[in-house]
């Protein structure tokens, strides 16, 4: 039988982890080292994640410091951050880029909550897709005579409870992220 509660739970956890990383990239009014995770720097003949050419630290609630290890890459890192679409303008200080995090205006906050909602909906869809796969496995197992109708029903209830629990966790994560974004 291909049904595995552990596999379903693992895949649903994966959807939640993916949501958490999406949320980490959403800018709130506060500095966060995760804010620059998605930035790719053209360096060494290719495109490299910023985290592989520099260390990112939070100086205070509204300032990030990016210490670029190789001085030949500082300009490229500066351009990559400026062109990232995050609305950040680094200030060069030798091999360190100081990035002030501007406060968000109300319009941008509303926009970010909509984006967070889209991320959460994608996570809910992913959880439901895992549920569908689990239910399909159970139907096949019952059809092939591997499990009885009663066993199928009880396992299907188990899958539904897992789905409900994970959708609730997605909703809670969204609510927390929205509160964080709207906090002035």
- Out of 27-36, 52-61, 144-153, 173-182, which region has the weakest mean confidence (pLDDT)? 27-36
What pLDDT is attached to residue 138?
Answer: 92
Write down the residue that tokens 């951050």 correspond to.
81
In this structure, are residues 8 and 162 in contact, taking their beta carbons and an 8 Å threshold? yes
Give 53-108 pLDDT, tens digit per residue. 888 888 887 888 889 898 888 899 999 888 877 778 888 888 888 988 877 788 87
The pLDDT mean for the chain works out to: 87
Give me the domains of the chain, ranges plus CATH numbers.
Answer: 5-24+105-182 (1.10.132.20), 33-100 (3.30.1360.40)
DSSP string over 36-77: GTT-EEEETTEEEEGGGTEEEEEEETTEEEEEESSGGGHHHH
Enter the tokens of residue 143. Answer: 């059809």
């Amino acid at each position: 039988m291909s049904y595995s509660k552990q596999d379903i739970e693992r895949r649903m956890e994966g959807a939640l982890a993916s949501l958490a990383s999406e949320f980490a990239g959403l800018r709130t009014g506060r500095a966060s080292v995760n804010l620059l995770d998605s930035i790719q720097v053209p360096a060494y003949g290719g495109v490299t994640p910023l985290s592989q050419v520099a260390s990112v630290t939070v100086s205070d609630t509204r300032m990030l410091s990016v210490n670029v290890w190789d001085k030949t890459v500082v300009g490229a890192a500066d351009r990559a951050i400026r062109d990232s679409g995050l609305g950040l303008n680094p200030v060069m200080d030798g091999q360190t880029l100081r990035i002030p995090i501007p406060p968000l205006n109300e319009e941008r906050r509303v926009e970010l909550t909509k984006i967070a909602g889209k991320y959460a909906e994608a996570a809910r869809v992913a959880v439901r897709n895992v549920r569908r796969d689990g239910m399909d496995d159970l139907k096949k197992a019952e059809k092939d005579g591997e499990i009885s109708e009663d066993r199928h029903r009880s396992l299907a209830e188990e899958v539904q409870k897992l789905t409900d629990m994970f959708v609730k966790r997605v909703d809670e994560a969204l609510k927390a992220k929205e509160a964080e974004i709207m906090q002035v």
